[in-house]
């Protein structure tokens, strides 16, 4: 696991966007796994800017989103399909037929989850999977005590996650308590994983992910098992780590090697 600690959330977004930019330069027909929420929003804005400057194209790209609320149609303002369309897909040259988000309005959600798994496999698998992290260590909607081998499925949200997300819904608005989410096993099959975390509220989750034991109690700790995971955090999110200077030293050394084309 590579841990990168940067001074602020803007630099976290830039670092993550550059990973995706390099991936698309190497393989224009890449398959990207995408996340929603406030953390990746700045990264998406940077990708849109790079596209508008002619530095990036998504014409050959296929995307799969991590999750969706069960019970919301794609045109609902709080759905993740709506989020992705408004914040990324509507502003780049991607073929929308190749942008996959779980269908929260599907009549048979379990069957839809199995189809989602099939579509990922048919695409050749995910090249870069982008993740955020919840304060309880969840990735996607894989809440604590989710199976580390789980696949795309219907998942009940914890009371903490429901409370954390309540700010996105009006007081009199229906807020789903169920979701469709990629499983932890599905996520771990991605060739590369990039996790972004910013802010003091994520510090304990980041510590448990990086330094804690691998446990279903912190789903993100499963990323320790992955051969190519990059965790990008700001100083606040890194504040609970036992030895943040160790990770800063390693990153400085890596950047020196990159500058000499040794990596």
By annotation, the residues acting in catalysis are 67, 136, 138, 143
Give the C-alpha separation, 11 to 17, whole Å: 10
* Closest to 219 in 3D by CA, of 150, 130, 159: 150
Give the C-alpha separation, 121 to 123, whole Å: 5
* Closest to 139 in 3D by CA, of 124, 128, 127, 129: 129
Give the C-alpha separation, 41 to 175, whole Å: 22
* Closest to 120 in 3D by CA, of 70, 189, 69, 180: 189
Helix (H) or strand (E) holding 247: helix 244-259
* Closest to 185 in 3D by CA, of 135, 219, 157: 219
Q: For 10, left (φ over 0), alpha (ψ -120 to 50), or beta?
A: alpha
Give the C-alpha separation, 125 to 185, whole Å: 13
Give the C-alpha separation, 160 to 182, whole Å: 20
Q: Is 77 exposed, middle or buried (0-12, 13-18, 19+ CB in 10 A)?
A: exposed
User: Could you tell me if 202 and 232 are in contact, meaning their C-beta atoms sit under 8 angstroms apart?
Assistant: no
Phi, psi of 46 (to 5 degrees): -65, -40
DSSP structure class, residue 67: E
């Amino acid at each position: 696991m590579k841990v990168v600690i940067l001074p602020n959330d803007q630099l976290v977004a830039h670092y993550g966007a550059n990973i995706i930019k390099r991936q698309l330069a190497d393989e224009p027909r890449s398959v990207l796994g995408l996340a929603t929420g406030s953390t990746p929003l700045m990264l998406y804005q940077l990708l849109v800017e790079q596209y508008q400057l002619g530095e990036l194209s998504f014409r050959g790209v296929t995307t799969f989103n991590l999750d969706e609320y069960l019970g919301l149609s794609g045109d609902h303002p709080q759905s993740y399909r709506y989020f992705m369309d408004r914040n990324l897909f509507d502003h780049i040259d991607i073929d929308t037929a190749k942008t996959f988000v779980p269908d929260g309005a599907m009549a048979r959600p379990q069957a839809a989850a199995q189809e989602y798994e099939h579509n990922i496999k048919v695409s050749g698998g995910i090249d870069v999977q982008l993740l955020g992290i919840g304060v309880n260590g969840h990735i996607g909607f894989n809440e604590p005590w989710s199976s580390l081998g789980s696949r795309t499925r219907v998942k009940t949200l914890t009371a903490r996650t429901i409370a954390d997300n309540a700010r996105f819904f009006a007081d009199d608005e229906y807020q789903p308590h169920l979701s469709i989410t990629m499983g932890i096993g599905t996520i771990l099959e991605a060739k590369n994983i990039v996790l972004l975390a910013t802010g003091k509220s994520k510090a304990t989750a980041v510590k448990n992910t990086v330094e804690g034991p691998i446990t279903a109690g912190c789903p993100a700790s499963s990323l320790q098992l992955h051969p190519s995971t990059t965790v990008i955090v700001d100083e606040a999110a890194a504040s609970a780590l036992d030895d943040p200077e160790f990770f800063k030293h390693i990153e400085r050394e890596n950047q020196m090697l990159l500058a000499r084309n040794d990596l």
